[in-house]
Homo-oligomer: A and B are copies of this chain.
Amino acid sequence: MQTKILLDEGEMPKRWYNIQADLPTPMDPPLHPVTGKPATPDDLRHIFPMELIRQEMSTERYIDIPGEVRDILTLWRPSPLYRARRLEAALKTPAKIYYKWEGVSPPGSHKPNTAIAQAYYNREEGIERLATETGAGQWGSALAFATSLFDMDCTVYMVRASYDQKPYRKSMMQVYGAECIPSPSDRTQAGRAVLAHDPETPGSLGIAISEAVEDAANHDNTNYSLGSVLNHVCLHQTVIGQEAEEQVAIADDYPDVVIGCVGGGSNYAGLTFPFAGAKLTGKHPDTELIAVEPAACPTLTKGLYTYDFGDVAGLTPLLRMFTLGHDFIPPAIHAGGLRYHGASPLVSRLVHDGVVRPVAYHQNEVFEAALTFARTEGIIVAPEAAHAVKAAIDQALLCRKTGEEKVILFNNSGHGNFDFSSYEAYLAGKLPDYEYPLELVKESLSRLPVRG
C-alpha cells in the first residue's frame, strides 16, 4: 500500500510548459496603463528583466529551465505526490484522492518555484535588489529565500492584515536577510494615499503591489517581482503539474478531477496547466478542472471578465481578467493569499472559455475540511490550500453518493505552520463567514478603466 510517489532529482522537468502554445486563439495583450495601447517590452523593462518579459509573451510550448535554477529547485523538488488513503477511508469514498505536497520547500509553499527563477534572471541582468508585495507571507518569504541564495537584497511590502496575523512570516524574511514592511506604508505615494483615506485599512494585495512597483520604478538597481497572476509566473509553476502527471502515471492513473485554490492563480496554474493543455488538445478532453476561491473575494464566480489594473493605484498594465474592481478591498479573511481582486489572465481565460469551473466557499467550512485533513492525513495545511482540500472532499463525497471511482487530484500548496491564529479562531468559533460584499464590488466595478 504505497502512500507517496517520489521522483528522483534527475526526473525533475527540464522545461516549463507554456499553455499559451495550446490556446485556440492568442491571449489579449496587456495594455499600457496610460495610453491604453498594447504594452511593448520596452514599457515593462523599467521593472522586469528582458528574459521574463520574453517569457510573458512567448507562445513556445516549452521553455528550458536554466541549470542553476534546477540545481536550487532540487533542494526540495520533485515534491512528493501523496495518495490520501486515510482521508479516503474516513470519507468512505470509492474515489481515489491524490495530492501534490508543495509544503516541503524551505519557505513551506509552492512560491519558491518562481521566486528562484525570477531572482536568477534578474541577477543575470545585473539587478541587485527586488521589491515585491506579499499577502499571506508565503510569497514574501519565498522571494527572501531566493534572493538570499543569489546574494541579492529584497524589500517586501506585506499586507497589514497578514503582517499582524502572522508576525513570524516577517521574522522568516528577516532570517533570510530581507526587509519586510507592513503595507500600506508611508514609504510610497501609493501607500500614503491609502493611509490618508483610511489609516485603519487591513491593506490588500492590490495596494501592496502598487507600493512595490513604485519602489522598483524609482530605483535603477531594483526590479519588481510578482508572485502570481502573470504568465511567466504561471509558467514557472508548471513543474508541479508536470511532476504530478508523471507520478499519477506511475500509479497507473490519470485524474478525472484536478483541483486547486486561486488567489492570483499561480499554484492553480502550476498544477493544472499541463492537464488543461491535454484537455485543450483533445488528449484528455474530459478532465474536470475546478478552481476554488473564497466566497468573500469571489473573483472568478462573481467578477467581470474585462480589462483592469493589477493594483489599486493603476500603475500596472491593464490585464484582461476576471476582476472585482482594482480598488475593491476584500474582507480580512484568514486565507490572506486569496484576497486579490483579480486573477491570472491565463486562468481567467480558461474560466471564460469553460475549460475551468470556479467554485467559492466560506471560511468556516474550509477550516472544517482542514481539520478533517489534519486528523486523517496528519498535515496541517495553510488556509489557502484548505480551500482545495474542501473541494476535494466534496468531490469525494459526491462519489460516495454516485458510487463513481473517480481519481481526484488537488494541489496542497503549503503548510499552515504560520496560520495557527486562524485555526485558533476557528476552534474558538470566532471565524466570521463574510457575506459577499455585493455593494462594494458594484461600486468598485463602476470605476473600471475604459478599455484602450
Which residues of chain B have C-beta atoms less than 8 A from A6's C-beta? 6, 8
Which one of A34-42, A174-182, A234-242 contacts B?
A174-182
Cross-chain contact B420 with A168 (CB below 8 angstroms): yes
Which A residues, 142 to 180, have Cβ-Cβ distances below 8 Å to chain B? 145, 148-149, 167-168, 171-172, 174-177
Cross-chain contact B375 with A427 (CB below 8 angstroms): no
Write the nearest CB–CB distance from A430 to chain B, whole angstroms. 13
A427 touching B174 in the complex, CB below 8 Å, given contacts A2-B9, A3-B74:
yes
Chain A contact residues, majority secondary structure: helix
Q: Looking at A8, A108, A375, which has the most chain B CB atoms within 10 Å of its CB?
A: A375
Which A residues, 380 to 398, have Cβ-Cβ distances below 8 Å to chain B? 380
Write the nearest CB–CB distance from A129 to chain B, whole angstroms. 16
A172 touching B379 in the complex, CB below 8 Å, given contacts A3-B9, A74-B3, A86-B149:
no
Identical chains bound together, number? 2
Which residues of chain B have C-beta atoms less than 8 A from A148's C-beta? 374-375, 378
Say yes or no: is A278 at the interface (Cβ < 8 Å to chain B).
Answer: no
Say yes or no: is A128 at the interface (Cβ < 8 Å to chain B).
Answer: no
Q: For the complex, what is the distance from the CA of A2 to the CA of B4, rounded to whole Å?
A: 21
Cross-chain contact B420 with A145 (CB below 8 angstroms): no
Q: For the complex, what is the distance from the CA of A145 to the CA of B377, rounded to whole Å?
A: 10
Cross-chain contact B377 with A4 (CB below 8 angstroms): no
Contact with B along A360-382 (1 / 0, CB 8 A): 00000000000100111111100
A149 touching B106 in the complex, CB below 8 Å, given contacts A9-B4, A171-B420, A417-B168:
no
Partner of A106, one of B3, B168, B379, B421: B379
Q: Which residue of B lies closest to A82 (CB)?
A: B75
Say yes or no: is A418 at the interface (Cβ < 8 Å to chain B).
Answer: yes
Partner of A104, one of B74, B104, B167: B104
What are 6 A-B residue pairs whose CB atoms fall within 8 Å in the complex? A149-B376, A171-B421, A172-B417, A172-B420, A417-B417, A417-B418
- Closest 9 A/B residue pairs (Cβ): A171-B420, A168-B420, A106-B378, A417-B417, A3-B74, A148-B375, A106-B379, A171-B424, A175-B423
